[in-house]
Amino acid sequence: MTNYFNSGLYDSFCDKQFYKEHDIDFRTNTDDYYNIEYNRELLAAYYKIRSDRYNNDEHADSANYEQWERVDDKFREALNCWQIYFEPMIFNEEIALECKLIPFTYQGVGMLALAGYGMDFSPRLDTYQVLTHNTVDQYSRLVRANKYDDYFEYVVGKDMMKKVLKAIA
């Protein structure tokens, strides 16, 4: 049986919402940017950037620095795609990355960045809600399309679509 819970993405007039939106421009306000924290090791694994931090090779420090710089660059790039970020009721970095969202903490608040341009990425946020809260918004494309939507699957991937459908069945 499907459990419905307002995500806040489609109807923001409800008192209880899974997501709270934040409009923050990190590109122009660098002071705000320095209040961001994120799990570099987790992002390195997500982006498949190998770290040689345990290598005793004489070039390890240089290679290690470059690899962490690549992780930081990828994070900044993902963060700057939009200036709207989503604060979920439940913050789980591993599930966020599995849903192709970029998790970070800003002023002690866990948030998710969409990390992409030019598309409707709401299926990623719907997927995150399903996997962390076991609920879905009644206005989600997933529900409106009678539990199968080509676009939803295109955005989240075939395997993730199966996982979501199983979770809400």
Q: b or e along 71-106 (b: 16 or more beta carbons within 10 Å of the residue's beta carbon)?
A: beebbeebbeebeebbbbbebbbebbbbbbbbbbeb
Q: What is the pLDDT of residues 80-94, one digit of tens each?
A: 888 899 999 999 999
Residue 150, Cβ density class (10 Å: 0-12 exposed, 13-18 middle, ≥19 buried): exposed
The pLDDT value given to residue 60 = 54
**pTM attached to this predicted model:** 0.88
- In this prediction, the residues of the chain whose per-residue pLDDT falls under 50 are 54-56
Residue-range domain boundaries for the chain: 19-168
d(CA 122, CA 112): 12
Give yes or no for a contact between 88 and 129, defined as CB atoms under 8 angstroms apart: yes
Q: What does the block give as tokens for 165?
A: 């459908």
d(CA 145, CA 161): 13
Pairing status of strand 19-23 against strand 36-37? unpaired
The pLDDT value given to residue 80 = 86
The pLDDT value given to residue 54 = 45
Strand-pairing partners, residue 21, are: 86
The pLDDT value given to residue 106 = 95
d(CA 45, CA 43): 5
d(CA 150, CA 86): 24
Q: What is the pLDDT of residues 132-157, one digit of tens each?
A: 999 999 999 888 765 567 899 999 99
